[in-house]
Every structure is written in structure tokens, then in C-alpha cells.
Amino acid sequence: MKKSKKTHVGNKKQKVNKISMSLPPMLLVEFEKSMQNAGYTDRSKAIQAALHSFVDDYYWKGNDDNGDSSTNGAGVIILLYDNRIYSHDKKSVHVQHSYSDIISAATHVHLEHDICLESILVRGQRKKIKELAMKLSQNRGIKSVKVHFMSIV
């Protein structure tokens, strides 16, 4: 049975549902250790954060053919590359200009002589964010591409 209660989010009251769940004892022990290591003191907040992560992961991995390709979100695309090989000035900038409607900002950090890290803040349709990440990853010299996507749900 679900119990509802109202909480304040900003100036609005938002309805929340109270649930109960059954967990294997060792999973709960490991969750509580992880929760404390992450700095959470409230189990409900830690579970909410885990659920948000689960939902974001679902939306990111979702199939574009299932009708939810317009799922909106925000995130960051992180590139690690060898600047001697990677054609940043030509290919990357051209690709990024093609996606200026979803790119909010980009930063570039020199880690070692020719090794660079770039983070590209994005916001918009998941499908377009995936396209951008794929096009950037196709360039030579890319050592790693990571995308952290958060759905707007």
C-alpha cells in the first residue's frame, strides 16, 4: 500500500509516495556502507539518488526506435585525446559547430604535453547528444569518450 505525503520543493508542495521494500541483508549492508562513503546521512535521499541514476541510465541506453528518441536531458561529453593525432582544429570544431543547438559550453585542459581533456556541456534530445558523442569519437587520436547523461524527469 502506498502512502502519500506532501513535501516542499522550492515554493511548491509536491506529493511523494512512501514505499517499503525487501532487500537481502548483505545488499542493505553494502548499500549503507556506500551511502555513508558518499556522504549521505538520509537513506531515503540515497535511494532517491540511486533511482535517479537508474532512470538516467535507462534513458541513455534506450532504443531510439521505441518512440522516446525525443527524451530531453543534459550532461557532459568528456574526451581524452592525443593532440598530435587528433585533428581538434579541423574535425572536432566542425562537428561541434554542427551541434551548437545542444552544446552549452566546452572546456579544454592540457594534461601532459600532447594529452588533452575536453568536456562539452550539452542539453537537448538524447538522440542528438548520442549523435554528437559518436561523431566526436570517430576522430583519430581519441583515447576515451565518456558521456554522463541525466534525463529531465
Q: What would the grid cell of residue 93 be?
A: 570544431
Q: Do residue 84 and residue 124 come from a single domain?
A: yes
- Distance, in Å, from the CA atom of 62 to the CA atom of 148, rounded to the nearest integer, reads 14
- Distance, in Å, from the CA atom of 75 to the CA atom of 60, rounded to the nearest integer, reads 11
- Give average pLDDT by consecutive 10-residue segment, the chain, 153 residues: 51 80 91 93 90 80 59 92 76 88 95 92 94 90 90 76
Q: Do residue 117 and residue 93 come from a single domain?
A: yes
Q: What CATH number corresponds to the domain at position 109?
A: 3.30.70.1150
Q: Model-level pTM?
A: 0.69
Structural domain that includes position 104: 68-151
Contacts for 110 with CB less than 8 Å, ≥ 6 apart: 116
Tell me, what's the pLDDT at 2? 46
How many domains in the chain? 2
Q: What would the grid cell of residue 24 be?
A: 537481502
Cα 73–128–69 angle (5° rounding)? 70
Tell me, what's the pLDDT at 33? 94
Tell me, what's the pLDDT at 117? 94
